[in-house]
Amino acid sequence: MSDTFFGGIEGGASVSTVVITNGNGDILAEIKGEGTNPWILGTELCLSRVNDLIKEALSKADLNNNIKLKGLGLSLSGCEDITFCKTFENKLKESYPDLTDEVVVVSDTLAPIALACESGGAVIITGTGSNSLLINPDSSIKRCGGYGHLLGDEGSAFWIAFKGIKLCLDHLEDFNYVPNGYSIDKVWEAIKGHFNIDKVLDLLNVFYGEKKEKSEIASLCKTISELAKEGDDLSRWIFNEAGKDIAKFIQSLYPGADKKLHKEHGGLHVVCVGSVWKSWDLLKDGFLNQLDLHNSKEPKVNELTLLVLEKTVALGGVYLITKKMNYNYPYDYEHNYKELYHYVYNQRSKNNTFAN
């Protein structure tokens, strides 16, 4: 129905993407805005931002921004706990009763799977932070990660940036030296330039003085990736280590996958979300070397296919709410993604179709 409207939000720690569609599946508007992680913002500010983003998207779609949505799907970082999600849903309805008829709030790991995998699959998010999730055909799940930069975020942009900073700090103070005798010069210069500092002690202000957003520290990752592509050994080593940690997410999830998912064409389907995946060529060796490890401590991963989405993850929020409502929505899975890499245990595939 062209006069029925749905909204979806992919809410990261740094950036949110919003989409408005009609009941026929046509995307009427897509916008980006500030992050919508309720643990970072606080619930009330996050609710207000969700409302404002939907109003802005409705205006961009040339719709009256007072139109009430049929359904709204929110896939937000930090929303891991079911009880918390239900509370957030209720507070949204109470605070903004004219925003939507129905709402669903889930983790940011769920929308990518909903968009690409009709019968279940896995997702690894590695953007500012990192997280992973497996959903089986019977809706059972296995989680790994999602605890933020103090307890995790392995393989993420923040992790890569922090790794570079800590390696240089320890080396400069003769506490630990960087591996293989690599030079820290280029990474250290990049750190000083990024934060506008001159010496090691200036890092105190970066981390403990004027509060820096997590995303500001994480954005150093882009510079380190550029150094790695230029051939800087330390930068390449950092990305190699990140690739190993990203593969460990898969090693955690894989044993929990239903046999039906293992038997999918190409093995387990893993949706890759987040800006760090754009540096797949730098992650690849560490990632594959980690998967090829197989002993009592490292589960064997037989086969999988990495997928990158062609449509905004926010559309996955629309998929989730329309399924919850049993609405006859035109789901179009096969056109929502493309293949990044096909892995078979101990067979190094040359299939790498991701365009940087």
C-alpha closest to that of 143 among 124, 127, 159: 124
pLDDT confidence of residue 77: 86
Q: Check whether 349 has a pLDDT greater than 60.
A: no
Top CATH class, 156-241: alpha beta
- Measured CA to CA in angstroms, residue 209 lies from 41, 175, 213, 296 at distances of 20, 24, 12, 45
Order of all β-strands in the sheet with 141-145: 141-145, 130-135, 121-126, 268-273, 303-309, 337-344
Segment 283-295 shows an average pLDDT of 91
Q: Where are the domains of the chain?
A: 5-108+310-332, 156-241
Residue 302's pLDDT band, with cuts at 50, 70 and 90, is very high
Rounded Cα gap, residues 343 and 266, in angstroms? 8
Position with higher pLDDT, 205 vs 354: 205
CATH superfamily of 5-108+310-332: ATPase, nucleotide binding domain (3.30.420.40)
Q: Are 226 and 239 in contact (CB under 8 A)?
A: no
Residue 3's pLDDT band, with cuts at 50, 70 and 90, is confident
Strand spans (E) along the chain: 5-11, 15-22, 27-34, 69-76, 100-107, 121-126, 130-135, 141-145, 268-273, 303-309, 337-344
Q: Are 107 and 146 in contact (CB under 8 A)?
A: yes
Q: What is the pTM of this model?
A: 0.85
Give tens-digit pLDDT for 78-118: 898 899 999 999 999 999 999 999 999 998 889 999 999 98
CATH topology identical between 5-108+310-332 and 156-241: yes
C-alpha closest to that of 321 among 86, 60, 111: 111
- Measured CA to CA in angstroms, residue 150 lies from 79, 111, 145, 162 at distances of 17, 25, 12, 11
- Choose the weakest-confidence range: 89-98, 146-155, 167-176: 146-155
C-alpha closest to that of 342 among 291, 293, 276, 286: 291
Rounded Cα gap, residues 106 and 209, in angstroms? 34
pLDDT confidence of residue 355: 38
pLDDT confidence of residue 352: 45
pLDDT confidence of residue 1: 54
- Choose the weakest-confidence range: 62-66, 121-125, 253-257, 347-351: 347-351
H helix intervals, 96-232: 110-116, 148-151, 157-172, 185-195, 203-208, 214-218, 220-229
- Measured CA to CA in angstroms, residue 22 lies from 124, 223, 251, 311, 321 at distances of 29, 40, 39, 16, 13
